[in-house]
Amino acid sequence: MLAYLIRRTIGTFPVIILIALIVFMLIQAAPGDPASLLLGEDASPADVTAIRARWGLDQPVIVQFGHFLWSALRLDFGESFRYGEPVLDLIGERFPASLELALYATLFATLIALPLGVWAAARPNSWIDNLGSVTGFVGISMPHFWLAIILILVLSGYFHLLPSNGRETLGLADDPITGFATLDALLHGNWEALGDAFKYLAMPAFVLSLNMVGIVMRVTRSAMIETLGEDYVMTARAKGVPERKVIWRHGFKNALVTIITVVGLEFGSLLSGSIIIETIFSWPGIGSLLLQGIGARDYPLITGVVLIYTTLFIFINLLVDFLYAAIDPRIRLGA
């Protein structure tokens, strides 16, 4: 187990370095100059030259990348051009908001998709199977940005049921402890702030989860249909095992490896793919931070956020591998 963990950890370094190089070269190739963008049109050429020298933009690209990579290995992503603060501090402030949003979206998606997929597989061609198929197609096909705008217009603009943007009502929450709005409200015992946090989470989490609902539901249905057709399931039924136990103990448990793979990958996608949703709902996460960095050509901020996304995605895949061994004893990670 330890040898497997070491091998996988060492194998991630070339991937991270390659992604950092690709991102760095792409933003360098984009038109525009960060110094000119941030100083404005009234800045003199001398001011622009001074800022470029201060940020090291006057050096060759390969030298800039070498400096950035060496600093990143020491968990120092440099200072943001736009905010004038360390990039790691900015990411640390925004990351809990993005993680909380992704966690609740994943929780909502799995609570809906797993039972629906299992029931659809247990009763093929029934009304529940048709409902699951329609839900899967709608979830996969629905454009996130369009649904987000419609929900804001209807639920916020017309019925005034939910807030349209932001993360909390000003002055209602207590001092943050963990950075997670719902958890901090529980730790403080502030039930009004807890309800307020769920109101702000409701629409963005629902919109973000919809695509995952469709994918997980369809994968669960396919995995369950395949598992329920195995010989050991038919043997259990022949022995008179109750159908509920056949489905959940024999069928669902053996289909979990496939389901966990998809849930893990989709969770990583929610973390890195929430940029549009965070922007529409003015959610203060690292997705909206990345978009602001792109607009300002903030090289350290862009590369730092992308590297954090990459590292998290790799870590999630590693965690999924360990869950395989916990669920199915036949899987040995050291093999």
Per-residue 3-state assignment (H helix, E strand, C coil) for 113-177:
HHHHHHHHHHCCCCHHHHHHHHHHHHHHHCCHHHHHHHHHHHHHHHCCCCCCCCCCCCCCCCCCC
Q: Give the residue range(s) of CATH 1.10.3720.10 domains in the chain.
A: 95-327
> How far, in Å, CA of 20 to CA of 305, rounded?
10
Higher pLDDT, 167 or 170: 167
For residue 38, the model assigns a pLDDT of 72
Percent helix, strand, coil in the chain, to 5, is 75, 0, 25
Task: Report the C-alpha gap between 149 and 203 in whole angstroms.
Answer: 10
Question: What is the average pLDDT across 293-297?
Answer: 83
Give residue 148's pLDDT band: very low, low, confident or very high (50, 70, 90). very high
**Per-residue pLDDT at 201:** 95
pLDDT at residue 325 above 60? yes
Tell whether the model's pLDDT for residue 64 goes beyond 90.
no
Nearest to 317 by CA among 258, 256, 261: 261
Mean pLDDT taken over the chain: 86
Would you say 97 and 179 are in contact if contact means Cβ atoms under 8 Å apart? Answer: yes
pLDDT at residue 217 is higher than 70: yes
Contact yes or no for 211/112 (Cβ under 8 A):
no
Which DSSP state fits 333? Answer: T
The superfamily (CATH) of domain 95-327 is MetI-like (1.10.3720.10)
